[in-house]
Amino acid sequence: MAEKNRKSQSDRAKSLDKSTRSILDQQLWLRILYGMALGVLAGWLLSPEGLGIWEEELAQSIGEWLALPGVIFLGLLKMVIVPLIVCSIILGIAESASMDFLKKIGIRIIPYFILTTACAITIGIVITTIIQPGSAIDQTIAQNALNSSATAGQIPGQTFDNLSIPARIGNVLPSNPMQAQLDNNMLQLVIGSILLGIALITIPPTSGKPFKDLCMSGQVLSMKIVSWAMAIAPIAVFGLIANVVIKMGLSALTSVGLYAVCVLGGLLCMLCLYLFILKVFARISPLEFLKNIREVQLLAFSTSSSAATMPFTIQAAEEKLKLRPDIARFVVPIGATINMDGTALYQGVAAIFLCQVYGIDLSLAETILLILTTVGASIGTPATPGVGLIVLATILSGIGVPVEGLALIIGVDRILDMCRTTVNVTGDITAATLMNKWIKKDDNAPSSKGF
Ligand code: ASP
C-alpha cells in the first residue's frame, strides 16, 4: 500500500516537473520581454500619434485582434486557478501535516502574513507621499484618460459587498462551496480547503485515499493547462500591450511613468526587506537565496499568477532551499492566496496616487483605514493575473476616490502585475524559509518528496 502511494506520488512529481520544466527551458521570460517591447512598438506605430496612416477605428479593431491570444492566455490561467489552489491546499495539509504541526505553524504564519502585508502597504504609501507622482502629472492628459471612451467598460466596478466586520467574519465559511467558486471568493475557498485537508488527516487513510487521488489528478491536470497557456505567453503579452498602446497612446502611458516608478521602487524595497529578514532571522545569504529562487521569480513574472507558479515554488523550496516538505507544502499554497505583499503595496501606491490626482487629502484615520482595508482585501484576492486592479476598485470606493481614476493606471497595469506577482511569490517562499527555521525539526516529519 505504502509502496503504491509512493509510486503515485512520484508519477505526479514527474508530470508536474515536466510541465514546469518545459515552461522554463525555453527562456520564456526573455521572449516575454521581447514580446512586451515589440508590443509597445507595434502599438505606437498603429496608434494615431505614431505613423498616423491608420483610421482610428481600424487601428482599434486591429488592436482587438492582436489582443486575442492574450485574452485566451489569461482565460486559460484563470480557468485552472481554483482547482489548482483547492487541490494544493488540501494535499499540502493532508499529505504532510499533523494537528500539532498545524497548530504550531498556524499561530506563527498568520501574524507574519498580516505584519508583512501591512509593512508593504506602508512602504507604498510613504514612497508615493514623498515622490508625489499624482501632483506631477499633466492635468490635460489626466483628464483625457479619465474621460476616455476607449477605456470605458474596462474599469472594474465594486466587486465586494459592503458587509460589516462581524458579518464578514461570519461569511468566511463557504456554506455553499459551488457559490464560493462562482463568486471567485478565494477566502471562502481557502478556508473550505483547509477544513477538508484537516478532515482528511483525521479519518482512516483508506477512506480518504480516493479523494486524495482526485486532488492529485486535479493538480497535475491544472499544471498541464498552465503549460499550454505559457506556450503562447510571449505573443499574448505582445498583443495585450499593443492593444493598450493603440487605445491609450504612448503619451498617456509615459505620463503615469512616475507612478510606475513608485510601484517598482516600492517592490524593490520589499524585496530588500525579505532579504534582510532572511539574513537576520534565518542566517541565509541573500545572494544564495536569490540564486535558488531565480527560476521561480521568472515564472511568476511570466505568468502574472502566484497560483500558476505555486507547484514550482514548492518544488524550489524543497529541492533548492532544502525546506521541510510539510512546511513548504503548507505555507506556499496558503501564502499564494492570502499573502500578497506586492499586490498590497501596489494598491497602496495606486490609492495615494489617485488621491493626489483628484486633490483628495487623506487624514491619518483615513490612511489607517486604507491600510486595514488593503490588508483585508489582499487576503481575499485571487492569485490570478490582473485581479489586484479589480480589488483596488473596492478599496478606492472605501476611501471615497472615484473608481473612474483606474482609467489612468490601467495602461501600465500589465507590466506592474508581472512585477508585483514576482514579489508576491518571493514573499511566500521567504515565509516558508523562515517557518522552516522557526519550527524545530520534528523527528516524525515526513521526508517524501511529492513534487
Ligand atoms: N497577479 C497577482 C498574483 O497572482 C495578483 C494581482 O495583484 O493581480 O499574485
Q: What is the pLDDT of residues 351-375, one digit of tens each?
A: 999 998 888 888 888 888 888 888 8
| Cα gap 209→232, rounded to integer Å | 36
Instruction: Reply yes or no on whether the pLDDT at 396 is more than 80.
Output: yes
User: Which ligand 1 atom minimizes the distance to the CA of 308?
Assistant: 4
| Mean pLDDT of all residues in 255-270 | 93
Is 8 a domain residue? yes
Q: Is 382 in the pocket of ligand 1 (CB under 6 A)?
A: no
Mean local confidence (pLDDT), 300-311:
88
Position 252 in a domain: yes
pLDDT for 19: 60
Output the CA 185–ligand 1 centroid distance in Å. 15
* Average confidence (pLDDT) over 208-215: 92
Q: Which atom of ligand 1 is nearest to the CA of 390?
A: 8
Q: What is the mean pLDDT of residues 319-335?
A: 90
Res 228 pLDDT > 90: no
Tell me the CA–centroid distance for residue 253 and ligand 1, in Å.
Answer: 21
pLDDT-derived band of residue 438, with 50, 70 and 90 as boundaries? confident
* Band of pLDDT at residue 14, cut at 50, 70 and 90: low
Task: Give the total number of structural domains in the chain.
Answer: 1
Higher local confidence (pLDDT), 130 or 186 = 130
Q: Say how far apart CA 291 and CA 242 lie, in whole Å.
A: 33
Long-range contacts of 137-143 (CB under 8 A, 24+ apart): 137/255, 137/256, 137/258, 137/259, 137/357, 137/408, 138/255, 141/251, 141/252, 141/255, 142/255, 142/357, 142/408
**What DSSP assignment string belongs to 353-403?**
HHHHHHTPPPPHHHHHHHHHHHHHHHHH--SSTTHHHHHHHHHHHHTT--G
Distance of CA 249 to the CA centre of its chain: 27
The reported pLDDT for the residue numbered 99 is: 79
Is the Cα torsion angle 398, 420, 124, 410 positive or negative in sign?
A: negative
Sequence-separated (6 or more) residues with CB below 8 Å from residue 262 = 124, 127, 128, 131, 133, 349, 353
Mean pLDDT of 322-328: 90
Backbone dihedral angles phi then psi of residue 130, each to the nearest 5 degrees: -75, -50
Are 410 and 288 in contact by the 8 Å Cβ rule? The answer is no
**Cα(16)–Cα(344) distance, integer angstroms:** 30
Provide the pLDDT confidence category of residue 434 given band limits of 50, 70 and 90. Answer: very high
User: Among residues 172, 110, 169, which one has the least CA distance to residue 335?
Assistant: 110
Nearest ligand 1 atom to alpha carbon 425: 9
Could you tell me the CA-to-CA distances from 412 to 16, 22, 188, 342, 399 in Å, in that order? 32, 29, 31, 15, 23
**Predicted pLDDT of residue 352:** 93
Establish whether residue 420 lines the binding site of ligand 1, counting it when its CB lies within 6 angstroms of any ligand atom.
yes
Residue 321 has pLDDT above 80, yes or no: yes
How many whole angstroms separate alpha carbon 77 and alpha carbon 91? Answer: 21
Pick the residue with more confidence: 41 or 29? 41
Ligand 1 atom with minimal separation from the 307 CA: 4
Taking only the tens place, the pLDDT of each residue in 75-102 is 888 888 888 888 888 988 887 657 778 8
Q: Does residue 343 line the site of ligand 1, with CB under 6 A?
A: yes
**Ligand 1 atom 6: residue of nearest CA:** 388
What's the confidence (pLDDT) of residue 364? 87
Distance 431 CA to ligand 1 centre (A): 17
CATH of residue 157's domain is 1.10.3860.10
Confidence of residue 404 (pLDDT cuts 50, 70, 90): confident
pLDDT beyond 70 at 443: no
pLDDT band at 440 (very low <50, low <70, confident <90, very high): low
What amino acid occupies position 243?
N
Residue with the nearest Cα to atom 1 of ligand 1?
A: 385
Task: Examine residue 443 and state whether it is found in any structural domain, yes or no.
Answer: no
Q: Reduced to 3 states, what is the DSSP secondary structure of residue 408? A: helix
- The answer to whether residue 451 is domain-embedded is no
- Cα 61 from Cα 148, distance rounded (Å): 17
- If you average pLDDT over residues 164-189, what whole number do you get? 75
Q: Confirm if 349 and 128 have CB atoms less than 8 A apart.
A: yes
Q: What confidence score (pLDDT) does residue 151 get?
A: 46
309 Cβ closer than 6 Å to some ligand 1 atom: no
- Which domain range does residue 151 map to? 2-438
Q: How confident is the model at residue 1 (pLDDT cuts 50, 70, 90)?
A: very low
Evaluate: CB of 340 within 6 angstroms of ligand 1. yes
Ligand 1 centroid–CA 383 distance in Å is 5
| Grid coordinates belonging to 40 | 509597445
* Closest-lying ligand 1 atom to the alpha carbon of residue 420: 7
How does the average pLDDT of the chain come out, rounded? 82
Cell 490588508, residue located: 375
2: CA distance to ligand 1 center in Å? 38
Confidence at residue 96, expressed as pLDDT on a 0 to 100 scale: 65
Residue 12: per-residue pLDDT: 58
Q: Looking at the CA of residue 424, tell me the nearest atom of ligand 1.
A: 9
CB atoms within 10 A of CB 2: 8
Residue 58's pLDDT is 86
Within a domain: 239? yes
CA of 265 to the centre of ligand 1 (A): 18
Whether residue 144 lies inside any domain: the answer is: yes
CA of 386 to the centre of ligand 1 (A): 6
Atom 7 of ligand 1 has which residue's CA nearest to it?
388
Q: What is the pLDDT of residue 360?
A: 86
380 lines ligand 1 (CB under 6 A): no
